[in-house]
Amino acid sequence: MDFILDRDDDAPTGPGYPPIDFRAALNDEQFNAVTAPPGPLLVLAGAGSGKTRTLTYRVAWLLHQGVPPGEIMLLTFTNKASKEMLHRVHDLTGEDARRFWGGTFHSLGNRALRMFGESECLKLKPNFTILDAGESESLMKRTVEAEDKLFFKDKTNPKPGPLFNVISLSRNTQKSLAETVSEHFPQYNDIAVALPTFAKVYAEAKREQNVLDYDDLLELWLKLLTEDPKVADYFGNRFRHLLVDEYQDTNTIQSQIIDALAPHHRIMAVGDDAQCIYSWRGADFANIMTFPERHPNTALHRIETNYRSTPQILNLANGVLEAQPAGRHFDKELRAHRANSMKPYVVQTMDDREQAEFLVKRIRSLVEDDGVSPNEIAVLYRSHFVALETQLTFSRTGVPYQITSGVKFFERQHVRDLVGILRFIYNPTDESAWHRIACLLPKVGEKSAHKIYHAALDHARLMQQDFIDALTTDDVKSKVPKGAKDEWPSFCASLRQTADAMREEPPQVTVEVAMDGWYGDYLKGAYADYMDRIDELTALSGFAARFDAMQDLLAQIVLLNGETSDRAVEPNQEAIKLTTIHQAKGLEYDIVFVIGCADGLFPGRRAIEANDVEEERRLFYVAVTRAKNELYLCYPKIATKAGPGGMLLTPSRFLQELDPSLYDALRIKRAHGW
């Protein structure tokens, strides 16, 4: 159905819908996008500019123009976003949300496969079921073991979960497994050649069992659209208007689904290229940049009026955008709706301890003197390890905080594992610590760990032998389950090396020896984000450098955990938010502190080494645009052990690129004033 909009009519009314004054409800930029003639539309919605409002009113506009709700498809990344938009449409128009095809790519893919899965190109049986994440990993494990029964016995090989993650990313980006491993999982380079076979047998097992995993919902939907002309015609003719939220976050296969759904090119893609920050989970920056090429005569609409932040914060955000390489992004300039206020601060501290002390002092002033709610204050960071000192200082000084992107540093699983190794070696009669580390071995559960422990304890007492040496005796090895026997020698050797280091070296060296031994190899197979976890354990090494004796380090960790547990934030208690920038996307706070703004920390060391910092720059832009009233960009001059090589740090290149007139510089005095 083609139609021409009467742009002089500010309040069109379709059949049965209450009138809406679109002109009064929207600013000029939003109104122009909402009322644009049908066709390919790329709406660049800057941070805080009313993206959701624009999409919602576009649906309402189409309804008022006489478009039936059954001809509108709304694709989102979360069910929450879809429900929110359709709920708003209902409030505006009274239209029942069930009359739209609205939801996530995966939910609509499932709906399409239920309708057309028996197509000749798929031949799905109609009673197919969908595996959850755990079931997918279990099936992966069984099929790989049937192909290579020794694969998972090598602890440096990925376990079923990480292996599934590698194959999943390859499928969603439609890149080869070799390329996927090279770019994202270099710890698995040595076994990349085996992965295509594993992916094949896993796919065959799903077909035999008539089950699909989450990725199949996209892959098979795309196959329907590209290989079955009748299905393609159905979608192309039924859904005459396609609206896509957060378009910059689409991966390769999602972008191809969108293109296949809309041969008529009536797509409104809403997004912001400057907020594309999820390449590590498949998002492809090229999708939004090449949209006009794939959809000729695309009308480009910029929504740049920002209702969130002060002009001074937006001036700095625009400075971040201006530093992007020419020709590799869409030009945009955020404009403030709010009144002038203070400039952002760039805060230089001596080290991360002083950085944390500054946070405490400034936050207390904001809360106690200015009446700012702790809930409206956020501390953002590039990586978890950067926030270690902040967590320690907040705990020590009684500042209530919530980590909204995971758990507290010393509660993270790999940190607890390594601390468990240290605890056991320092005190071999600590059976709880033994159970934690022994159960990391394959086929070792609580009962096996108990048997091994007491066999070693009895032998050590009888022979007056060191407990760790007793672990290598035949009496003890006979209690080790068959599945763990191959790893047992390296496990024991690593414990011995760590024990020797603990006896002769300071705690920092002991931590590093424990990291480099058996547990370091275990990490490679246990976690797809191995490199990030190594960074966090390196931060633990930096923390250990403060102590001369292992008992002091271990005691301090326990006390810190006790303090944070005692101060656990109640559901209704106000607290400072600590979170990674990735998790903060889409959120806003009155006051934002971005910590660790130094080269090697932000942008990260690996991005710098790969000469690929553009996504890091976009992440920096996301960070600064979370702030409504005040923004503090903090960096230490001296690195802890967690930092990049060398002791001295330089301010982040993202700070150095900014015109100094965009911020006020703040240096901490040695007396801890400013």
214 and 133 in contact (C-beta within 8 Å)? yes
Question: Which tokens sit at 429?
Answer: 């009669």
Say whether 544 counts as a known binding-site residue: no
Can you state the angle between helices 160-173 and 252-261, rounded to 10 degrees? 40
The predicted-structure confidence for 253-268, as pLDDT tens digits, reads as follows 999 999 999 999 999 9
For 155-215, where are the alpha helices, taking DSSP H only? Answer: 160-173, 177-184, 195-209
Query: Would the annotation count 545 as a binding residue?
Result: no
pLDDT at 565 over 50: no
Query: Tokens for 466?
Result: 């060191």
Identify the burial level of 371 via C-beta atoms within 10 angstroms of its C-beta, where 0-12 means exposed, 13-18 middle and 19 or more buried. exposed
The pLDDT tens digits of the residues spanning 209-227 come to 999 999 999 999 999 999 9
Q: 408: annotated binding-site residue?
A: no
Residue 642 has pLDDT above 90, yes or no: no
Cross-strand pairs, 521: none
Average pLDDT, the chain: 90
d(Cα 320, Cα 317) in Å, to the nearest integer? 5
* Number of residues assigned to the chain: 674
Is there a binding annotation on residue 643? no
Mean pLDDT along residues 527-534: 91
Any binding-site annotation on 51?
Answer: yes
pLDDT digit string, tens, across residues 100-136: 898 899 999 999 999 999 999 999 998 999 999 999 9
Least reliable range by pLDDT among 327-331, 524-528, 534-538, 589-593: 327-331
Confidence of residue 328 (pLDDT cuts 50, 70, 90): confident
- pLDDT digits 0-9 by tens, 274-310: 999 999 889 999 999 999 999 999 999 999 999 999 9
Query: Using CA atoms, how far apart are residues 452 and 447, in angstroms rounded to an integer?
Result: 9
DSSP per-residue codes, 295-350 = STTPEEEEE-EESSS-HHHHHHHHHHHHTSPTTSS-----EE-SPP-PPPEEEEES
Q: Is 47 annotated as a binding residue?
A: yes
Mean pLDDT (whole number) for 387-391: 91
CB distance 346 to 665 below 8 Å: yes
Q: Residue 647 in contact with residue 350, Cβ under 8 Å?
A: no
Q: Which of 342, 278, 348 is nearest to 315 (CA)?
A: 342
Helix (H) or strand (E) segment spanning residue 286: helix 285-289
Are the CB atoms for 312 and 664 separated by under 8 Å? Answer: no
DSSP code string of 235-272: HHHH--EEEESSGGG-BHHHHHHHHHH-TT--EEEEE-
Using CA atoms, how far apart are residues 347 and 634, in angstroms rounded to an integer?
5
Choose between 243 and 460: higher pLDDT: 243
Say whether pLDDT at 42 is over 80.
Answer: yes
Is 78 a known ligand-binding residue?
A: no
- pLDDT category of residue 561 using cuts at 50, 70 and 90: low
Sequence letter at residue 151: F
How many Cβ atoms sit within 10 Å of the Cβ of residue 126? 10
pLDDT at site 370: 95
Q: What is the pLDDT of residues 18-41, one digit of tens each?
A: 889 999 999 999 999 999 999 999
- For residue 380, the surrounding DSSP H or E stretch is strand 377-381
State residue 569's pLDDT score. 60
Query: Is 16 marked as binding a ligand?
Result: no
Alpha-carbon distance values, 588 to 114, 227, 375, 386, 638 (Å): 39, 44, 11, 21, 30
Under the banding of pLDDT at 50, 70 and 90, the label for residue 670 is: low
Confidence bin at 562 (pLDDT 50/70/90): low
Q: Please tell me the pTM assigned to this model.
A: 0.89
Residues 632 and 593 sit within 8 Å (Cβ to Cβ)? yes
The whole-number pLDDT of residue 17 equals 80
Closest CA to 349 of 659, 672, 7, 2: 672
Tens of pLDDT along 397-442? 989 999 987 778 888 899 999 999 999 999 998 889 999 999 999 8
Give yes or no for a contact between 67 and 1, defined as CB atoms under 8 angstroms apart.
yes
Average pLDDT of the segment spanning 521-542: 90
Cα dihedral 371/373/376/378 (nearest 10): 90
Residue 571 is predicted with a pLDDT of 65
- Which of 335-349, 472-486, 497-511 is predicted least confidently? 472-486
Residue 577: both structure tokens together: 């938010």
Predicted local confidence at residue 646, as pLDDT: 46
Residue 645 has pLDDT above 60, yes or no: no
The residue-averaged pLDDT of 363-389 equals 95
Q: Are 461 and 475 in contact (CB under 8 A)?
A: no
Q: What's the token pair of residue 468? A: 């760790």
Residue 362 has pLDDT above 90, yes or no: yes
